Amino acid sequence: MIDPHPAVWARDLAKTFRVPEREAGVLAAVKSLVHRRMKDVAAVKGVTFRLEPGEVVGFLGPNGAGKTTTLKMLAGLLHPTAGQAAVLGHVPWKRERALLSRITLVMGNRNQMQWDLPALDSFALNAAIYRLPPAEFARTRDELIDLMGVGELVTKPVRNLSLGERMKMEFIASLLHRPQVLFLDEPTIGLDVTAQRTLRQFVAEYNRRTGATVLLTSHYMADVTALCRRVIVIHHGSLLYDGDLAGLGEQFAAYKTLGVTLDGADGAVAGVDWAAFGEVVATDGAKVTIQVPRASASAVAARVLSELQVADLTIEDPPIDEVIARVFAAGAATAAAGTDGDDVATPSVVEPAATSTA
């Protein structure tokens, strides 16, 4: 049964863009002046999910999967072509004041701070825009500045700050009105590792203190694994997975890794034909790590136990970022073929699958 009060829900949400079709060449350009051929591009093809209050959910998918489009619909920036959604009980694209003053949107690489002014001035402007009572504003501002640890930076003109510092200011400015729902679109893109970690801790702490709901897209798996217990994976505009981060491996990892430690002398490892069991990934003294297809994992484990002198045996899913990278890589290959279009322009920071899975 659907809870009457989830923080965010979407039902069959879909968005199709009409884009002009243009071929290269002068003749085509002239022709398009007279008669523009339009083409429909389905960016989101009907997604359904819900976020409970206080959840931090990772929204994953390769470039062009429809993440940003979905996020923009939930933030009220885009009108859906079909389907319904609600954020805190409001239809987002009606852009009611009551909703807008309780949500926030942070996009990496897009800075809304006043360039020539110190961040403090930008904070004051947001206080005016959100009509925050002065005392409450000052309290929240100081709390957030303290939490982010940027006390000495807020009086410098924003143009003099580093990219990471600017993003920290951006977060403070975006949370001054204590929003209950946060839409974060690649908030750490292009930042160095330290800044990423600070921002992550900041979001986690904000969530802990205020119980706000967070929907986060990121290409950095560290963001997702540190913040989100639950992930939603979208691919080609359709929902691929919605559930525990840990469960993602169950669904997408084609392999499991077996860690086998043999009894006896070091030479024992060399005497075994490991290829008969699976692909060797690593050898470390008496311990050998092999990769085996998911379906036959338990059979292989049984064979290992019966045929070899085993001191210790572990069966594990591959690391979660490898799994997700695999999902992304598969998606990216199809996205490059050119079907979807919302965030194709964002530079890909997806690493190719780290280990060979072939």
Partner 1 sequence: MSIFRLAAAHWRVNALNELQYRVNLVVQLFQSLIALATGLIGLSLVFRQTDDLAGWSRPELLAVMGVHLLMGGIIQAVVQPNMQRLMGDVQNGLFDYSLVKPVDAQALSSVRELRIWQVVDVLVGAAVLAVAVVQLDARVGVGQALWFVVALVLGALSIYSFWLILTTGVFWIIRIENIVELFQGVYQAGRWPVGIYPPWLRGGLTFLVPVAFAVTVPSEAMTGRLTPQTMALAFGVAVGLMAVARGVWRLGVRRYGGASA
Minimum Å distance from CB 196 to partner 1?
Answer: 22
8 Å CB contact between 339 and 310: no
Backbone angles phi, psi at 47, to 5 degrees: -115, 145
130 to 169: interface string for partner 1, x by CB under 8 A: xx--------------------------------------
**210 touches partner 1 (CB under 8 A):** no
8 Å CB contact between 214 and 207: yes
Of 309, 260, 305, residue with least CA distance to 284: 260
**27 touches partner 1 (CB under 8 A):** no
**Binding residues among 57-86 for partner 1 as defined by CB under 8 A:** 72, 75-79, 81
C-beta of 75 vs 320, nearer to partner 1: 75
Q: What is the CA radius of gyration of the chain?
A: 25
Backbone angles phi, psi at 312, to 5 degrees: -150, 145
C-beta of 71 vs 304, nearer to partner 1: 71
Minimum Å distance from CB 134 to partner 1?
Answer: 12
8 Å CB contact between 166 and 198: no
**Token pair recorded at residue 62:** 């390769």
**187 touches partner 1 (CB under 8 A):** no
C-beta of 107 vs 148, nearer to partner 1: 107
Give the end-to-end CA distance of the chain in Å, rounded to a whole number. Answer: 42
| Rounded CA separation 258/184 (Å) | 37
Q: CB neighbours (10 Å) of residue 319?
A: 16
C-beta of 1 vs 34, nearer to partner 1: 34
C-beta of 65 vs 245, nearer to partner 1: 65
263 to 302: interface string for partner 1, x by CB under 8 A: ----------------------------------------
| Rounded CA separation 149/198 (Å) | 9
C-beta of 29 vs 295, nearer to partner 1: 29
**32 touches partner 1 (CB under 8 A):** no
**124 touches partner 1 (CB under 8 A):** yes
Residue type, 65: A
8 Å CB contact between 56 and 7: no
Under the rule (CB under 8 A), what is the footprint of partner 1? 15, 17-18, 72, 75-79, 81, 93, 95, 97-98, 100-101, 103-105, 107, 110-112, 114, 116-117, 121, 124-125, 128-131
